[in-house]
Structure 1
Amino acid sequence: MSHPDNKGLKSIKFYVTTKYGCGYIENRSAQSMVATPYASIGSDIYDDLIYKGFRRSGQYVYKPHCEECQECIPIRLSPTLFVISRSQKRVIKKHAHITAKILPLQYSEEHYELYINYQNKRHRSKNDHENDMTDYHDFLIKSNVQSKLIEFRDQGKLVMVTIIDEMENGLSAVYTFYDSTNPKNSLGTFSILWLLNYSLNKKVPYLYLGYWIRKSVKMAYKINFKPYEILINDLWQEASE
């Protein structure tokens, strides 16, 4: 397992971005700390950065660095300790017929169309699509670490795509998009349950879910998987709500 004080980190520099609009809490600005140069961040250094609360978006590895807000809290799950709830068991039973296939991280027109539909239904106006293709490549397809793509199909129809990073210290769920025609399908929940089982089979100690944000409905679901750990003052600790 990588040590959290890997000497390779000494070759990495960090800078803080200018302020931009927060995508999770209304009427707030945000800043990020970004690790550079991104071309030097291989799997060993990435392991340690994830341990320290960073995330990956394309070739960029970052973590929130807001002066007046500490709402973004890194969260991870232990596959061996996870206790499935009754509602989560129902989700697995409901989607037992869905098949999953692990693929290299590469572009697919079918995946891209699902991504656009997901963005239009859940995150934005349909007219806001000027840089869709560039964004998709830059933030989802590009990677300097060991990344994979998992496609989920229901009787041959593509219903969900999950992008993951595989590390010595665990598995990082980078991004998931799915057919959101019926929100009650709980495909996002199914994805995490599938990843927990995958992590268990891979014998990795943790599944990293990015950030839990108490005040964001989009991120609140992450604490439905128990027990979970959060990173507070640079220390991972078990928490409960």
Structure 2
Amino acid sequence: MTEHFPSKIGLSQQFDCSYLPDRKEQLLVILDHECYSAERFEALLSLGFRRSGDQIYRPHCPMCNACQSVRVLAQQYTASKSQKRKYKKIKNGFSIQVSYDEKPNYYPLYEKYISERHQDGTMYPPNRLQYESFLFCRWMPISFIELWHEEKLVAIAVTDTMPNALSAIYTFFDPDYEHMSLGTVMIMAQIDLAKSENKQYVYLGYQIDECKKMRYKKQFLPAQQFKEDVWTNI
């Protein structure tokens, strides 16, 4: 598949934006079943698309282009001083493991994370059906990057795996460890995994400068953003 839009695309209805309360959101949705493979999805990632559950989508909002896809150049990435300090926090007593299968202890951690950290969000209250339909996928290989503190699972980064890239889907962690900057730590763990597997990019999803909780993705450099259908260096 070349880097062109597929011929079968749907357009969702408009609905309230999850990140900018004064805006309406609308999505392009891929309807071409031939696009639903890791190889073809990787080409769509380069066109600003994302995955949620089994569905591939891209924002196509009226009067708004706030969502800008960001990807880290994994092989060239160098941690900032602040990021190095945060990563050092997990040197003693912590370990990172990678699983390729979901485990029973993932959902209780997700449930605690949503219940304590996102009571004002659309995913509250959490339930298993929502968890499975949002994070998992029948046609995509998924890696689960686990952070353990001794014998306790404290964070999971759900990560799509493609031939030349990783895509960060969602990270959840034990709120008792919030002081450990685990959001940053888990992105660095994803970049480390991409480096070890000789992958070029780690896609971090959409940067939304007008939304405080969605501004962090430009902190992992070097990186590029997809703006006006062109990848440009940040």
TM-score by length of 1: 0.89
Of 96, 101, 104 in structure 1, the residue corresponding to residue 97 of structure 2 is 101
Q: Per-residue CA shift, 1:96-126, capped at 9, x if unaligned?
A: 23212221243x3321111111112222259
In the TM superposition, residue 61 of structure 1 has moved relative to its aligned partner by 0.7
Answer with 193-202 or 180-189: which moved more. Answer: 180-189
Q: Deviations over 1:43-73 (max 9, x none)?
A: 2211111111111111011111101110000
C-alpha separation in 1, matches of 2:35 and 2:227: 27
Q: Does 1:206 align with 2:205?
A: no
Q: CA RMSD in A?
A: 2.1
Classify the secondary structure of the residue corresponding to 1:45. helix
1:200/1:3 CA distance change after superposition, 3 Å: farther
Cα distance in 2 between the residues matched to 1:223 and 1:4: 24
Contact 1:16 1:33 (8 Å CA) reproduced: yes
1:173 — aligned with what?
168
Deviation, structure 1 residue 182: 4.3
Deviations along 1:152-182, one digit per CA (max 9) or x if unpaired, are 1111111101111111231111111011234
Alignment-derived partner of residue 3 in structure 2? 4
Q: Which of 30, 33, 51 is equivalent to 2:28?
A: 33
CA drift at 1:76: 0.4
**Which residue of 1 is the match for residue 9 of structure 2?**
14
| Contact kept? 1:38, 1:61, Cα under 8 Å | no
Cα separation, partners in 2 of 1:26 and 1:168, compared to 1, 3 Å: same
Tell me the CA shift for residue 4 of structure 1: 2.1
Indicate the SS of the match to 1:49.
helix
Match of 1:87 among 82, 96, 102: 82
Q: Do the aligned residues in 2 keep the contact of 1:39 with 1:144 (CA within 8 Å)?
A: no
- What is the CA distance between 1:36 and its match in structure 2? 1.6
1:230 to 195, 204, 225: 225
Change beyond 3 A, Cα 1:159–1:167: same
Shift of 1:141: 2.4
> How far apart, CA to CA, are the structure 2 residues paired with 1:202 and 1:3?
24
Q: Distance in 2 between matches of 1:158 and 1:194?
A: 15
Q: Which amino acid aligns with 1:206?
A: Y
Q: Indicate if the aligned counterparts of 2:15 and 2:24 stay in contact, CA closer than 8 A.
A: yes
Tell me whether 1:139 sits opposite 2:160 in the alignment.
Answer: no
User: 2 CA distance for matches of 1:102 and 1:232?
Assistant: 32
Whole-Å Cα distance in 2 between the matches of residues 175 and 185 of structure 1? 18
CA displacement at 1:87 relative to structure 2: 1.0
Secondary structure, counterpart of 1:66 in structure 2: coil
How big is each residue's C-alpha offset from its partner over 1:76-97, in whole Å with a ceiling of 9 and x where there is no partner?
A: 0012222211111111111123
CA distance in 2, matches of 1:176, 1:160: 7
Alignment gaps of 5+ in structure 2: none
Q: Which residue of structure 2 lines up, in the alignment, with residue 197 of structure 1? A: 192
The unaligned stretches of length 5 or more in structure 1 are: none
Q: TM-score under structure 2 normalisation?
A: 0.91
1:3 Cα deviation after fit = 4.4
Identity rate of aligned residues, in percent?
30
Q: Per the alignment, do residues 70 and 109 of structure 1 end up closer, same or farther by CA in structure 2, a change over 3 Å counting?
A: same
Is the Cα contact below 8 Å between 2:68 and 2:207 reproduced in 1?
yes
Conserved? CA contact 1:38–1:59, under 8 Å: no
Give, in whole Å, the separation in 1 of the partners of 2:78 and 2:191: 11
